[in-house]
């Protein structure tokens, strides 16, 4: 996800907060549409039901993903066979792969609609600086802190953007590279869709999205937290609660085929499984060792 570093530090220039945000958002959109750079990464998504760890590889036709652990435990042989069969079906069935690609595009388009609306949907004000930290921005840099609240003149074009009219929060921007390091938003009132007929989201809903410089000039998502409740069609309860952490991000060939990506995933799964086994063994060892006796010198 490559974007050019533009301009100077806004604290030393005459950029208004809204201008800084607009430039940063433009860079995020450019980066998301740059298909010349592909990545491999791990994702651990935690919900009230537990955690799932997956490895993903961005390929030409679509993103290949494989589950490698549940609740920190490596897959059983049966689970691994089932997972390999699941991803192999995309190779055997080109139509399934095309559907997968379209779904990914639709999801990306919805996200871009929200990101694209940010400069117009909110009013921004400077709220100081804070240093970048692991998972947020580029370590060693200072980030510009901007508070935001809804712009009363904003008219959302669809219910996708409607949620922005009831949200306030804080955004962190790298002022040198003009990248969004973090967006933290909370619903301060209930927001309805379709005059309340289609549903609503409750007050207090929250989302947090963070990204970091994984290797200058490449940035990638590092954490996403969602917590929303509400109703759909007035009767069905809606509850979304998850935290997804992205790690082990590294570049792969941009011409990698989906089949090649799947083979790489199958080789990566035993590596992740071994790491989980070592981590669990270390935790068991720490839990059974007595802190008092562990520090005593040998007789």
Please report, for the chain, the start and end positions of each structural domain, with discontinuous segments joined by +.
10-286
pTM for the whole structure: 0.84
Q: Lowest mean pLDDT: which of 60-69, 83-92, 228-237?
A: 228-237
Residue 196 is predicted with a pLDDT of 54
Please spell the DSSP secondary structure of 242-281, one letter per residue: EEEEEEEEEEE-TT--HHHHHHHHHHHHHHHHHHHHHHHH
Tens digit of each residue's pLDDT (9 = 90 or more) over 242-295 = 999 999 999 999 999 999 999 999 998 888 877 766 666 666 666 655 444 333
Q: What is the mean pLDDT of residues 136-141?
A: 95
Residue 270 is predicted with a pLDDT of 82
Secondary structure letter of residue 237 according to DSSP: E
Residue 6 is predicted with a pLDDT of 34
């Amino acid at each position: 996800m490559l974007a050019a570093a533009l301009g100077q530090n806004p604290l030393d220039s005459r950029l208004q907060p809204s201008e800084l945000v607009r430039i940063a958002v433009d860079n995020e959109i450019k980066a998301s549409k740059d298909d010349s750079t592909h990545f491999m990464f791990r994702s651990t998504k935690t919900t009230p039901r537990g955690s799932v760890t997956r490895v993903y590889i961005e390929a030409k036709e679509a993103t290949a993903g494989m589950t490698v652990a549940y609740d920190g435990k490596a897959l059983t042989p049966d689970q691994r066979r089932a997972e390999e069969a699941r991803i192999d079906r995309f190779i055997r069935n080109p139509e399934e792969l095309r559907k997968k690609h379209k779904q990914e595009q639709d999801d990306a388009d919805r996200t871009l609609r929200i990101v694209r609306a940010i400069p117009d949907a909110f009013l921004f004000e400077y709220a100081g600086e804070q240093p970048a930290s692991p998972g947020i921005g580029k370590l060693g840099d200072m980030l510009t802190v901007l508070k935001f609240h809804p712009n009363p003149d904003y008219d959302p074009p669809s219910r996708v953007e409607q949620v922005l009219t009831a949200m306030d929060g804080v955004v962190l921007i790298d002022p040198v590279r003009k990248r969004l390091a973090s967006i933290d938003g909370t619903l301060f009132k209930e927001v309805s869709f379709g005059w309340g007929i289609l549903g609503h989201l409750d007050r207090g809903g929250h989302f947090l999205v963070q990204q970091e410089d994984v290797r200058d000039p490449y940035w990638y998502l590092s954490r996403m937290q969602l917590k929303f409740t509400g109703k759909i069609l007035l009767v069905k309860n809606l509850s979304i609660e998850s935290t997804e952490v992205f790690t082990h991000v590294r570049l792969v060939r941009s011409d990698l085929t989906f089949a090649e990506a799947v083979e790489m995933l199958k080789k990566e799964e035993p590596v992740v499984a071994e790491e989980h086994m070592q981590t669990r063994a270390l935790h068991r060892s720490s839990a059974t060792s007595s802190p008092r006796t562990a520090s005593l010198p040998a007789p």
